[in-house]
């Protein structure tokens, strides 16, 4: 069994300040972990993924996440927020092989203040 908890339903930051979106997971298997972004009326876009290689994962648009097994966390960060980052972000866990359906967190709505 696997589950994902996104600790904040909404996060609001000012443009140019750091972003932190928190995610904790549980899994009976060696997990694969992902962050996806969903802009209004658009499809899901993969930001980054962890699949048992380096624990610090760099993704697109300046985002990165660190896999911490001891804390069962996979928080998403970005040093400087941009207005275009405003969207819904989903932390997702899958079984290591990738052949199974994914389990999505409830999502975090990121708001960027000008």
Partner 1 sequence: GAVVSQHPSRVICKSGTSVKIECRSLDFQATTMFWYRQFPKQSLMLMATSNEGSKATYEQGVEKDKFLINHASLTLSTLTVTSAHPEDSSFYICSANGHTSYEQYFGPGTRLTVT
Give the other-Cβ count within 10 Å of 6's Cβ: 20
Give the other-Cβ count within 10 Å of 47's Cβ: 22
16 or 98, CB closer to partner 1? 98
Please state the closest distance from residue 43 (CB atom) to partner 1, in A.
Answer: 4
Taking alpha carbons only, the member of 50, 79, 80, 51 closest to residue 66 is 50
Which residues contact partner 1 by CB under 8 A? 32, 34, 36, 42-44, 46, 49, 51, 90, 94, 96-107
Please state the closest distance from residue 18 (CB atom) to partner 1, in A.
Answer: 25
Please state the closest distance from residue 49 (CB atom) to partner 1, in A.
Answer: 6
Give the other-Cβ count within 10 Å of 45's Cβ: 13
């Amino acid at each position: 069994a696997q589950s994902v908890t996104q600790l904040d339903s909404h996060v609001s930051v000012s443009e140019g300040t750091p972003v932190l979106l928190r995610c904790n997971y549980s899994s009976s298997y060696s997990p694969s972990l992902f962050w996806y972004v969903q802009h209004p009326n658009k499809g899901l876009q993969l930001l980054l993924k962890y699949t048992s290689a380096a624990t610090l994962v760099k993704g697109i648009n300046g985002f990165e996440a660190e896999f911490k097994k001891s804390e069962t966390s996979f928080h998403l960060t970005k040093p400087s927020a941009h207005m275009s980052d405003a969207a819904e972000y989903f932390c997702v866990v899958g079984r290591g092989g990738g052949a199974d359906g994914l389990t999505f967190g409830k999502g975090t709505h990121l708001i960027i203040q000008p």
